[in-house]
Amino acid sequence: MTDATQLAANWAVVRRRVDEACRAAGRDPSEVAILPVSKTFGPEAVRAAIALGLRRFGENKVQEIRDKAAALADEAIEWVVIGHLQTNKAKDVARLASEVQSLDRLELAEALDRRLQIEGRSLDVLVQVKTAQEETKSGLPADELPTFLTQLRDYPTLRVRGLMTLATLSEDPGEVRACFRQLRELQDRCTAEGHELPRLSMGMSSDFPLAIAEGATEVRVGTAIFGSRLKA
């Protein structure tokens, strides 16, 4: 469902719910950005979102960014990689993305830096930290974060801006919230150690109010904006 009218209505609802969650948490709504996640939706859905004034879009597959960037070459779009990234995709990412939120290992940092130097570009990056117990969730183990952040200083093309996480899939809001709180505590700790990490990307359609309560500066919202995805 990517009807432009529906999309506009969905966007207004999400923006209002984000603002409400901010007020409930005693935060200024201007502190929390919404990253629309357009994965699985085609260029026409992205175009409809652009008509609403949006221009940053989250995607989890590099091939999809390639296809959409080609179809939307006339638009100024910032593509944000939010999915697990294979090292052999670094070349396309360096060429097409404006930001990577799923940086989770040194090998990937090295590959991105090498390709970015060739392209003469730099990228904003967030380090994805594993806060959920599920084996399937990717991300850097939390105890490795301080060392990793120090190692990233060797890659000048990567501008580290903060942290990202995916919460556990649970019916229990307490368990979900604990993941977000852990990311916030890691931010505090690493900031105290001298790292600059102003951004926290956490929360999706199902759990963004909890993430905002715990300090998210950015929520990644797909379904609630674009509609439900057909299972791949």
Which residue reads 């850097």 in tokens? 140
The binding track of 191-220 with respect to ligand PLP, each residue x by CB under 6 A or -, is -------------xxx-------------x
Identity of the residue, 133 or 223, whose beta carbon is nearer to ligand PLP in the bound complex: 223
Identity of the residue, 151 or 206, whose beta carbon is nearer to ligand PLP in the bound complex: 206
The pair of three-digit structure tokens given for residue 128, joined into one six-digit string: 């994805």
Greatest C-alpha distance within the chain? 48
63 binds ligand PLP (CB under 6 A): no
Residue 224 makes CB contacts below 8 A (sequence gap 6+) with 10, 13, 14, 205
Q: What share of the chain is helix, strand, coil (3-state, %, to 5)?
A: 45, 20, 35
Q: Look at residues 114, 124, 199 and name the one whose alpha carbon lies nearest to residue 165.
A: 199
Q: How far is the CB of 8 from ligand PLP (least distance, A)?
A: 18
The binding track of 84-103 with respect to ligand PLP, each residue x by CB under 6 A or -, is --------------------
Please count the residues of this chain forming the interface with ligand PLP, following the rule CB under 6 A. Answer: 14
Q: Which of 166, 190, 202, 212 is the binder for ligand PLP (CB under 6 A)?
A: 166
d(CA 157, CA 125): 10
Q: What secondary structure letter does DSSP report for 167?
A: -
49 binds ligand PLP (CB under 6 A): no
Q: Which of 83, 162, 209, 215 is the binder for ligand PLP (CB under 6 A)?
A: 83
CA torsion angle 179 183 184 185 (round to 10): 100
Q: Which of 38, 60, 165, 182 is the binder for ligand PLP (CB under 6 A)?
A: 60
Q: Which of 7, 36, 39, 115 is the binder for ligand PLP (CB under 6 A)?
A: 39
17 binds ligand PLP (CB under 6 A): no
Q: Is 215 left (phi over 0), alpha (psi -120 to 50) or beta?
A: left
Q: How far is the CB of 102 from ligand PLP (least distance, A)?
A: 7
Distances in Å between the alpha carbon of 24 and those of 29, 59, 209?
A: 10, 29, 9
Q: How far is the CB of 64 from ligand PLP (least distance, A)?
A: 12
CA torsion angle 205 130 211 16 (round to 10): -30
Identity of the residue, 52 or 119, whose beta carbon is nearer to ligand PLP in the bound complex: 52
Q: How far is the CB of 27 from ligand PLP (least distance, A)?
A: 20
138 binds ligand PLP (CB under 6 A): no
Which residues contact ligand PLP by CB under 6 A? 37, 39, 60, 82-83, 166, 204-206, 220-224
